Structure formats: C-alpha cells, structure tokens
Amino acid sequence: MMKVGIIGCGFIGKEIAKFLDNNNLHELTALNDINKTNAMNLLKILKNNSPKLMGLSDLIKKCDLIIESASRDVVAEILRDRNLDNKNKILLIMSTGGLIGNTDLLMKIKNCRVFLPSGAIAGLDAIKAVSGRINSLTLTTAKPIAAIENSPFILKNKINLKGIKSKTTIFEGSLNDAIKGFPQNINVAATLFLASKFGDIKINIVADPNAKLNSHQIEATGDFGKITAITENMPSENPKTSYLAVLSAIDIIRDLNSNINIGN
C-alpha cells in the first residue's frame, strides 16, 4: 500500500482524498496547501485516514504517490525538489499547464514515474498515436461565463461578458497566448500539446451564456485521416474545473493496483 500525499486541497484534491478515504487502495499520509484552512477543512471530512499537514519538500520525501492538484505555479517547484526523482515514487500532475515552459525540468526526471491524466477531454490516445504525423490541430473550448470571468485576457481587453447574449468566440490564437490570457483554463490545451507534440495548435475559446456544460472539441488532420473528439462535461463546484478531470485522476490511481491497462 503506497503512502499518498496531496498538494492542493481545493475541489480536485478534496475529491481525490475522499476517494482514497473510502477505498482501501492506498494510505492518505500527507496534505499540503498554501491555504491551511483548505487542508484543515479537508481533514474534518475524512473518516478512515488521518493525514498530516506537511511542507512541500517533506511531503515529497515521505510519500510514494504525490498528487499535484494545486496550480500551475507549483508544478516547477515540485519538479525541482531533490526528493522527487526516486524510482519508488510516482507523480500525478493535474495542472499540466505548469509544464509548458518547464518541459526541461520534466525531461530531467529519470526515475520517478510521471502521470498526466487525460483530464476533461477524450481522444488523447488517438492523438498520441498520430504524434509526428499531424498537419493541423485545433482545440475549441466553450464554457459558461462564470468559467472565464476575471481571466487576464478578459480584463485586458475590457470584454463585457454580461453583454454577451449568445455563443461568441472571444479568443483565437496560439497555445502560448491562451496560457497568458486564460491561465486557469489551459490545462486541456497543455495536455493536448504534450500528447501531440504539435507546436502550432490553434486555440479557440467560446463564451456561452446559456451553457450548462464545459465543451471541448479536438480536430486533427494528417496523413492518417481526421480525428474529431467532442467532450461535454458537467462543471464541478468550481466552474473552471470539469468533474471529468477528477474522474480521470481517480482512474489512474485505481489502475496503479491493476495488471491490466486499457489504452495507451
């Protein structure tokens, strides 16, 4: 049974902790959050595990499975930690946007196994399979207003989201521009880039005042033909997070105990 540490006790971290607490797969040993109130509130709802609050480096040192569910800014700090690169450790990264610009740190990891969940999208197995053969790749993300309000791109361009009455494309651009403009909404785009290794992804972000779901559509073309994948997700209690992201992380954790793996 592995010792598990969770970095980030927001919605995703809380749901993963509840899963571990209700399933006797691994021992939830440690929690870390820059906001200690989040961690303390999580401790109160756990029934079968009594994790300790630890600093980042101590958690990485003492745990076998490290789950990052904090923010993209924490990812580089985790990858730089001297206690991480150990053959007995597994790192699961939810904030894949934090890897963009830090892939050099990721490539230096030789012993620790690193998992990047598919998150809120379907089709990554196919995209990985055709990596290196892609001619064009587009990601169109449509979200409710609440999921994108206060994003830097919205504030900088003084976009009046309340004035939008129907589905409207508010951003078209590159991955790097999307990261700058929508830092809390780019994990899907980052994961798609890491799977495809295609540097010229076109990102479209659509504001939909009538939407109740977060929608992601991937279109890839190449000598293999065409891949289209559409995922419509229920948002979580955090409108910027799809509940499917939580389920994809839980699936990886569950599969760590299985000798049968489906997909690549």
> Cα separation of 130 and 223, whole Å?
9
Please tell me the number of Cα atoms within 13 Å of 144 on its side-chain side: 17
> Cα separation of 43 and 136, whole Å?
46
| CA angle centred on 75, ends 73 and 80, rounded to 5° | 115
- pLDDT over 70 (residue 123): yes
- Claim to verify: residue 93 and residue 132 sit in the same structural domain: no
How confident is the model over 145-180, as pLDDT tens digits? 988 999 999 999 999 999 999 999 999 999 999 999
CATH code at 34?
A: 3.40.50.720
- Claim to verify: residue 84 and residue 143 sit in the same structural domain: no
How confident is the model over 11-44, as pLDDT tens digits? 999 999 999 999 989 999 999 999 999 999 999 9
User: Tokens 């979200």 — which residue?
Assistant: 143
> Cα separation of 115 and 59, whole Å?
18
216 is catalytic: yes
Distances (CA, A) of 168 to 72, 150, 163, 186, 231: 27, 17, 11, 18, 19
Whether 260 is covered by a domain: the verdict is: no
Average the pLDDT over each of 20-24, 140-144, 170-174, 235-239 and give the range with the smallest value: 235-239
Catalytic, out of 26, 72, 216, 240: 216
Please tell me the number of Cα atoms within 13 Å of 232 on its side-chain side: 4
CATH code at 130?
A: 3.30.360.10
- pLDDT over 80 (residue 263): no
Q: Would you tell me how many other CB atoms lie within 10 Å of the CB of residue 66?
A: 28
Range of the domain at 50: 3-119+244-255
Whether 262 is covered by a domain: the verdict is: no
Q: Which two tokens stand for residue 177?
A: 């521009």
Residue partners of 235: CB distance under 8 A and separation at least 6 = 144, 147, 212, 213, 214, 241, 242, 243
- Claim to verify: residue 87 and residue 12 sit in the same structural domain: yes
- Claim to verify: residue 110 and residue 214 sit in the same structural domain: no
